[in-house]
Amino acid sequence: MATDTDTARIEGFGEVSRVRGIIFEYLSLGASVLGIFALAVLLVYVTIDAFDLAGTSPLWLLTYFVTLVVPFLAFCLYSARDREVTRRAVTVAGGGLVAVAAVFTAIETFVGQIPRLNWQLAYLFVVVAPLTGYLVYMGARGRPGAVGFGLVGRLIGGAAIGLAFSVLFLVFDERLWFLAYTLGIVPGLFAYAYGQLRNSSTAVTAALPVSLVGVVLAVFVRDVLRTYPTTTFIYLWTLAIPIAAAGALVVNARGSRTAALAAGGVPLALAAVVGLFGRAIGLGVGGPNALLVIALAGVPVAVYLHRVFDVGEGVTGLGLPVLLVGGALAGALVVETFGIPTPNSWVSGTFLTEAPSRNARDAGLYPAIVGSVIIIAMVAVLSFVLGVATSVFLEEYTADSGVVGALTRLLQINIANLAAVPSVVYGLLGLGLFANLLGFGFGTAVTVSLTLSLLILPITIISAQEAIRSVPDDLRRGSDAMGATRWQTTKNVVLPEAFPGILTGTILALGRAIGETAPLIMVGAATTVFSAPSSLFSKFSAMPMQIYAWANFPQAEFRYGVVAAGVITLLTILVGMNGTAILLRNRAERGS
Amino acid sequence: MASSHDADTEGITRRKSLAALAGAGALALAGCTETEGEDGSDGSDGSDGSDGSDGSDGSDGSDGSDGSDSLSGSINIAGSSTVFPLMSAVAEDFAADNPEVSIDISSTGSGGGFSNFFCVGETDFNNASRPIQPEEEELCADNGVEYVELVAATDALTVVINNDNDFATEMTVDELSQIWQSDAAELWSDVRDEWPDEEIERFGAADTSGTYDYFVENVMGEDGHTDDYQATEQDNTIASGVEGSEYAIGYFGFAYWFQNQDQITPVAIDNGNGPVEPSLETASSGEYAPLSRPLFTYPSIESLGEEHVAEFARYFVSQTTNEDLVAGDVGYVPATEETQEEQMGILEDAIEQAQG
């Protein structure tokens, strides 16, 4: 090993491999930069079109930059508490301004006009956006930043989940849910709680059957009973109260009973008052949806506030929402006072709440958003259940050898191949099987969700299998050695370990499902609908369908403005969905 | 989940909170209730019934006929992508006036709509940019689907060239046919000697499109359509293809050019009486021949038996003369009063047949 000749050869070899290594490294870098750059340019232009930034006055940008972005960045720096980071951020922001302005002017002078961009926008996208991302990352590592982002995240996330619920209740019968909850879930929970309290295992075991009987009973009672509480009361009783109770229990587990009552009760009271009397006392908001949103955002926020005060660290971070709202208000005030023209953004309140129209300015995406949300919720449930069940069976239950093993391998190969089948083919399958043979109807939510579930099922199964396979065998053997049955091992050891990996696969697959158009066209989903669907068997449209139709409209306003706004909406919902799943996954990873 | 070690403290809170829950629930039950039937206009249940998804609501199914003041139900429309903008503009207004009627429109192409949806009884209307064809008639007859033909508007099929193309701004129908027939001319100079020695780049409608059928029938006739072209259902693709190459040519419905007049140049067509540019006037007067074509919609007679479908069909015909909508917003030629009266007559007969 250590002779002279050997060393010489090794050195010579090292010389060559270093050059190749360097070339390889830079080629990989180049490839990734090219891909990301192309995507970034596309997204920048879509954003510019969607918010009409090209026509925005630089003064407007400057106003909000000063009132909103600068304080936010300052907050991040304050939270990071690192001189080095501050120095870097200031250098980048200042130097970037000069550099972008210089480079941009040079390109415009020597190369040619860059369409729909000016140097202010270029600065925004090239310097401010990445800098904000970096500082958010650095800020979140400090306690105030973590607290601030946690609070804002709970506010936004809770509101989004509340809205998603109210969308789902457009097609799912809330009265049936009310009965199922009252007759099934509540008695079941009672039985479970009683069993836990009195250490009676019979009561705990009875909880599930009691719930099931109650739910079945509810289906029959629904046909007979004609008088129900109003929707607001149903939401209050079936959703807001249990959430508040859960919040109170969480706080109570940390010790304080008064705080627990406050954490559950205050948001509940607020939600109930606004939901029931909001319109009547002239708040402008009210009704069942307001109740849902307030309850779902309020309870987590209250619980979080309690924890922050309990820990007593980074309490200043709670000022972040105030800072953001204050900044936005200040910006609006300045814009109003000095009469700075505001950009005519295509993404707006009416775009999200109105039906499609022939006039680009009136056009909205509401029915398609509702359609997509309902479809994706059903697809998530269906593909998760089916995918996890299949992968658990394939990994934990079937034999590896013999005839069964050979069959399993055949099945594996088929599943892997199915993942590569074009989506149009799944569309045909859905058309033939669900729409025609089983009679679920053309383009209904049921047909569309079943088709999309089939489409992503192979991906879900394969990734779930990988996750289950990566659980160390030692854990299984250990569990076996303790005398656990296979079901107990799967439930208590394998699935909790594999859960983060399974979620990752499902997230990726759902991202594909929400953007699919071809199978939707095949099963006859509508291009345009004018009102939100009212049942699972009414005709659905989905965001990609409507965006595709708009891209083909003769008017340029549709092809640029409205389509861009649609794309931004679709991406926002996708990112929101993935963000929720990633948070869940990270929490699961930390927990295990 | 709650752990058991501090069961005592939890128990009390839980009992208290359960009491609170029960109180609130009782309040909810006693205080604010509503009874189904009173709130038929609530939306969630009224439309359930007509969808037939909820068996128990069978009695509500007659909603449409007894409540003549408020229509409800769903209307399914598929078919031509050319008629799609017109139909969705009309549907938008109708849906705004009748919030209980849910209308959905799919842009499938005339042929796709007939064969996949209309003639198998899935849709109430099929839009078409050419009359229904014999094999489609057969399919409809096999499935027992009866229909009437209504003229929706007139379109001027527009042949477009690049803005830099200054030689081919006028063409005879014969020259057009030479460019598009099945053994098509390869070079511009093959069509007319003074035109340049450059290859012709063709962008046209896909063969599922009614535009394709109409173009073949009225320009090439027996000679058929060339395969050597970029086929698409998207007018947008045709326009950007033509915009991108000086020696390109394409054709599509008038609306796209009407809304994007700077992007590309229309060709004036000479049918023996001198070149005529496509426009709302020349199409309406019939001067722009042979490329001005009627657009159709085909309601199914069975569907017209339902009041909300019949009412929508009446509304549609009444809107075909609305200049703001048909010409201004969409870019087609509105029907004349006479045509409208005639179509209304056909429609009323069909409705009578369906409902009588």
Task: Tell me the per-residue pLDDT of A429-483, one tens digit each, with 9 for 90 and over.
Answer: 998 899 888 988 888 889 999 999 999 999 999 999 999 999 999 999 999 999 9
Look at residue B174 and tell me if it is in a domain.
Answer: yes
3-state secondary structure B64-125: HHHCCCCCCEEEEEEECCCCHHHHHHHHHHHHHHCCCEEEEECCCCHHHHHHHHHCCCCCCE
In this structure, the answer to whether residues B148 and B163 fall within a common structural domain is no
Look at residue B2 and tell me if it is in a domain.
Answer: no
Question: In the predicted model, what is the mean pLDDT of residues B75-100?
Answer: 90
How many Å apart are CA A454 and CA A423, to the nearest integer? 10
Which residues in chain B are contacts of A562 at CB distance < 8 A? none
Test the B interface: residue of A531, A540, A557, A558 with most B CBs within 10 Å: A531
In this structure, the answer to whether residues B177 and B98 fall within a common structural domain is no
pLDDT score recorded for residue B314:
93
Q: Which of B235, B260, B290 is the last residue of a domain?
A: B290
pLDDT over 80 at B65, yes or no: no
pLDDT score recorded for residue B30:
54
Look at residue B131 and tell me if it is in a domain.
Answer: yes
Question: In the predicted model, what is the mean pLDDT of residues A560-569?
Answer: 92
What is chain A's alpha carbon radius of gyration, rounded to the nearest angstrom?
28
In this structure, the answer to whether residues B284 and B347 fall within a common structural domain is no
CB contact under 8 A, B102 and A533: yes
Q: Which of B257, B274, B290 is the last residue of a domain?
A: B290
Q: What angle do CA A155, A159, A162 make, to 5 degrees?
A: 145
pLDDT over 60 at A309, yes or no: yes
| CA distances for B343 relative to B90, B152, B297, angstroms | 16, 9, 11
In this structure, the answer to whether residues B226 and B308 fall within a common structural domain is no
B89 or B210, higher pLDDT: B89
Test the B interface: residue of A194, A236, A534 with most B CBs within 10 Å: A534
Q: Is A233 in the B-facing interface, judged by CB distances under 8 Å?
A: yes
pLDDT score recorded for residue B142:
92
CB contact under 8 A, A527 and B25: no
CB contact under 8 A, A524 and B116: yes
pLDDT score recorded for residue B37:
55
Measure CB to CB from residue B104 to each of A241, A535, A539 and give the nearest one. A539
A355 three-state secondary structure: coil
Write out residues 219-238 of B within 8 Å (CB-CB) of A. 233-236
Measure CB to CB from residue A549 to each of B51, B107, B117 and give the nearest one. B107
In this structure, the answer to whether residues B258 and B326 fall within a common structural domain is no
Separation in Å, CA of B249 to nearest CA in chain A: 18
Q: What angle do CA B295, B173, B220 make, to 5 degrees?
A: 70
In this structure, the answer to whether residues B259 and B312 fall within a common structural domain is no
In this structure, the answer to whether residues B144 and B278 fall within a common structural domain is no
Q: Which residue range forms the structural domain that includes residue B303?
A: 8-155+295-355
Look at residue B1 and tell me if it is in a domain.
Answer: no
CB contact under 8 A, B255 and A554: yes
Look at residue B3 and tell me if it is in a domain.
Answer: no
pLDDT digits over B304-353, tens only?
A: 999 999 999 999 999 999 888 888 888 888 888 888 999 999 999 999 98
Range in A121-125, A220-224, B53-57, B316-320 the model is least confident about: B53-57
- Confidence class for position A1, pLDDT limits 50, 70, 90: very low
Which residues in chain B are contacts of A237 at CB distance < 8 A? 24-25, 28
In this structure, the answer to whether residues B165 and B144 fall within a common structural domain is no
CB contact under 8 A, A442 and B117: yes
pTM for the predicted model, two decimal places: 0.82
Q: Is B329 in the A-facing interface, judged by CB distances under 8 Å?
A: yes
Going by C-alpha positions, the residue among A546, A511, A554 that lies closest to residue A525 is: A546
Test the A interface: residue of B35, B59, B72, B104 with most A CBs within 10 Å: B104
pLDDT score recorded for residue A537:
85
pLDDT over 50 at B220, yes or no: yes
Question: In the predicted model, what is the mean pLDDT of residues B273-300?
Answer: 88
Q: Is A252 in the B-facing interface, judged by CB distances under 8 Å?
A: yes
In this structure, the answer to whether residues B73 and B139 fall within a common structural domain is yes
Residue contacts between A and B (CB atoms, under 8 Å): 169
In this structure, the answer to whether residues B27 and B147 fall within a common structural domain is yes
Average pLDDT along chain B: 81
Separation in Å, CA of A111 to nearest CA in chain B: 21
Question: In the predicted model, what is the mean pLDDT of residues B254-262?
Answer: 86
Q: Is B243 in the A-facing interface, judged by CB distances under 8 Å?
A: no
pLDDT score recorded for residue A142:
87
pLDDT score recorded for residue A10:
54
Q: What is the ipTM of this complex?
A: 0.76
Measure CB to CB from residue A526 to each of B10, B25, B105 and give the nearest one. B105
Number of compact structural domains in chain B: 2
User: Domain with B149 in it: what CATH number?
Assistant: 3.40.190.10
In this structure, the answer to whether residues B113 and B14 fall within a common structural domain is yes
CB contact under 8 A, A442 and B122: yes
Average pLDDT along chain A: 87
Write out residues 382-421 of A within 8 Å (CB-CB) of B. none
Residue with tokens 């069976």: A393
A410-416: list long-range contacts, CB under 8 Å, 24+ apart.
Answer: A415/A458, A415/A461, A415/A462, A416/A458, A416/A462
pLDDT digits over B97-120, tens only?
A: 998 888 999 888 888 889 888 998
- Confidence class for position A237, pLDDT limits 50, 70, 90: confident
Write out residues 83-122 of B within 8 Å (CB-CB) of A. 84-85, 88-89, 91-92, 95-96, 99, 102-108, 116-117, 122
- Confidence class for position A324, pLDDT limits 50, 70, 90: very high
DSSP 8-state code for residue A73: H
- Confidence class for position B46, pLDDT limits 50, 70, 90: very low
Q: Which of B290, B306, B321 is the last residue of a domain?
A: B290
pLDDT digits over A352-389, tens only?
A: 888 888 888 888 899 999 999 999 999 999 999 999 99
pLDDT over 90 at A327, yes or no: yes
In this structure, the answer to whether residues B212 and B146 fall within a common structural domain is no
pLDDT score recorded for residue B85:
87
Measure CB to CB from residue A241 to each of B3, B24, B74 and give the nearest one. B24
B48 or B144, higher pLDDT: B144
Q: Which two tokens stand for residue B212?
A: 């394709």
Residues 6+ apart with CB under 8 A from B237: B203, B230
